[in-house]
């Protein structure tokens, strides 16, 4: 075997190993995005299961604002539908509506001392608040994973493998401008 043949074989092995490493890196990122979405999905499901309990607890107080409860119920249904379809733009809109509705419930609850003192209401409030914080953390992780994946998809030489194999782009989870805006403290205490 000639030296030229050995060099060509060595170069082919190096290119092959490099290609395998690139491919495995893309697979890792693709699965990180899927894992991040699964984490969000689990938390959304948990919150989905807790909200009817919160609504029912509030309903026990006959004078509690029915329109507020109906908004939360409708937003919950929209979040569930968008989550099932994995429709990220619709999920972002539905999440914004749901968070606004929950904020209204918590604000209106201030006017009902008996409700605020209710142990079940306080437990649900704590549970849902914890879930909201966990969802926010998972959204950040999902968007970071998605961003890393999408950037790698576009970089050379990864983009060659993307064209050859199944590495579709992923969407970031976006939210409305109202949800990203600063809280109007003056409005809350008015």
- Rounded CA separation 21/31 (Å): 15
Lookup result for tokens 């579709």: 168
What integer pLDDT is reported at residue 78 of this predicted model? 92
Instruction: Report the 10 Å Cβ neighbour count for 76.
Output: 22
- Rounded CA separation 104/139 (Å): 23
pLDDT at 61 over 80: no
- Rounded CA separation 145/151 (Å): 10
pLDDT tens digits, 120-138: 888 888 888 899 899 989 9
pLDDT tens digits, 87-109: 888 888 888 888 888 888 888 78
- Delineate the domains of the chain, giving CATH numbers in brackets: 3-188 (1.20.1440.20)
Q: What is the C-alpha end-to-end distance of the chain, expressed in Å?
A: 87
Q: At what angle do helices 66-85 and 3-59 cross, to 10 degrees?
A: 160
Inter-residue contact 60 to 48 (CB < 8 Å): no
Which of 140, 130, 133, 125 lies closest to 175 in space, CA to CA?
Answer: 140
Residues in the chain: 190
Q: At CB < 8 A and 24+ separation, what contacts does 104-113 make?
A: 104/68, 104/71, 104/72, 105/54, 105/58, 105/68, 105/69, 105/72, 107/188, 108/64, 108/65, 108/68, 109/58, 112/61, 112/63, 112/64
Query: What does pTM read for this prediction?
Result: 0.73
pLDDT tens digits, 27-53: 999 999 999 999 998 998 998 888 888
């Amino acid at each position: 075997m000639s030296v030229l043949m050995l060099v060509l074989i060595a170069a082919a092995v190096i290119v092959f190993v490099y290609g395998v490493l690139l491919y495995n890196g893309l697979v890792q990122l693709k699965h990180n995005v899927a894992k991040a979405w699964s984490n969000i999905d689990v938390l959304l499901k948990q919150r989905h299961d807790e909200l009817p309990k919160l609504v029912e607890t509030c309903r026990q107080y006959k004078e509690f604002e029915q329109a507020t409860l109906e908004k939360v119920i409708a937003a919950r249904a929209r979040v569930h539908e968008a989550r099932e379809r994995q429709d990220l733009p619709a999920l972002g809109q539905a999440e914004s509506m749901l968070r606004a509705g929950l904020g209204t419930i918590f604000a209106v609850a201030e006017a009902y001392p008996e409700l605020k003192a209710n142990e079940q209401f306080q437990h649900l409030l704590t549970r849902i608040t914890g879930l909201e914080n966990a969802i926010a953390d998972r959204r950040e992780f999902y968007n970071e994973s998605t961003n890393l994946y999408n950037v790698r998809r576009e970089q050379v030489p990864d983009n060659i493998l993307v064209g050859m194999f199944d590495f579709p782009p992923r969407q970031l989870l976006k939210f409305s401008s109202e949800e990203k805006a600063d809280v109007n403290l003056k409005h809350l205490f008015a």
